[in-house]
Amino acid sequence: MVQSRLAAITLSHFWFLYKFSRMESSTNRIFKLISCYHQLFLDHTVKYVTLRWMYFGFISTLFWIYIFTVNTHYVIAYMYAVFLLNLLLRFITPLSFDDLCAAQEDANGGTILPCSENDAKKSGVATRNNAKSKDNVYEFKPFLRQMNEFTFWLSATRITYIALCSLFFEFLDLPVFWPLLVLYFALLFTTTMNQQIRNMIKYKYVPFNFSKRTYGSVSRS
């Protein structure tokens, strides 16, 4: 009698483990399927730069309208603004700033690729006899960012979702003197952007490419 009960308990235990494993595998498959469709959607939106940033501007505007009209969650707004500033700095900063500094020091020796036509002329890397000829071909070093445009948009959109969801929780509305936060963020923004502009002038790079520039025609013999 005892043995039959033990056998029944063992069988029920194995049956429960079997059903739980099947349920877990089904849940994993569902999550994997959702993840695949989500990644497919993101890949499809890569080329729609203007629409993506319009959507980000829309949801970000909703967040700030709520903050200014209801006058709550100032700490969340401050953290949201600081995070966006951090993303912006990573977007306009070169991929390897240390290498850029070292390259700038070696620029007079012609050991780096020029970033513009003037740099190419100064370093003497023209591939034809006369540097002013239209047939000159210059090597162009593209600006590589620490964070590309799509990652910048995706991170900004996700943090906006988090900020919007935070507005539904009252315990996140911490008491604070909001003019002090505004002043501190203004000082932080001014200091960081001033340093960034100084680096751009010193190391002669522009983080924004409005058009693709060419440096003459390429002829093959």
Would you list the DSSP string of the chain? Answer: -HHHHHHHHHHHHHHHHHHHHHHHHHHHHHHHHHHHHHHHHHHHTTT-HHHHHHHHHHHHHHHHHHHHHH---HHHHHHHHHHHHHHHHHHHSBS-HHHHHHHHHTGGGT-S--SSHHHHHHHT--SSS-TTSTT---------BSS-HHHHHHHHHHHHHHHHHHTT-GGG-----HHHHHHHHHHHHHHHHHHHHHHHHHHT--S---S----S-----
Instruction: Give the lowest-confidence range in 49-63, 125-139, 198-212.
Output: 125-139
**Does residue 141 carry a pLDDT above 90?**
no
Instruction: Quote the pLDDT of residue 116.
Output: 53
How large a percentage of the chain has pLDDT more than 90?
41
- Name residue 31's amino acid: F
Over 80: is that where the pLDDT of 137 sits?
A: no
Structural domain boundaries in the chain: 1-44, 49-203
Q: Which of 8-12, 33-37, 54-58 has the lowest mean pLDDT?
A: 8-12
Predicted local confidence at residue 192, as pLDDT:
92
* pLDDT of 40: 87
Q: Is the pLDDT of residue 153 over 60?
A: yes
Quick one: pLDDT at residue 33? 80
Tens digits of per-residue pLDDT, 87-96?
999 998 887 6
Taking the whole predicted model, whether its pTM rises above 0.85 is answered as no
- Residue range 158-213, pLDDT digits in tens: 999 999 999 999 999 999 999 999 999 999 999 999 988 888 888 777 777 655 55
Span 99-119, pLDDT tens digits: 556 555 555 554 444 555 555
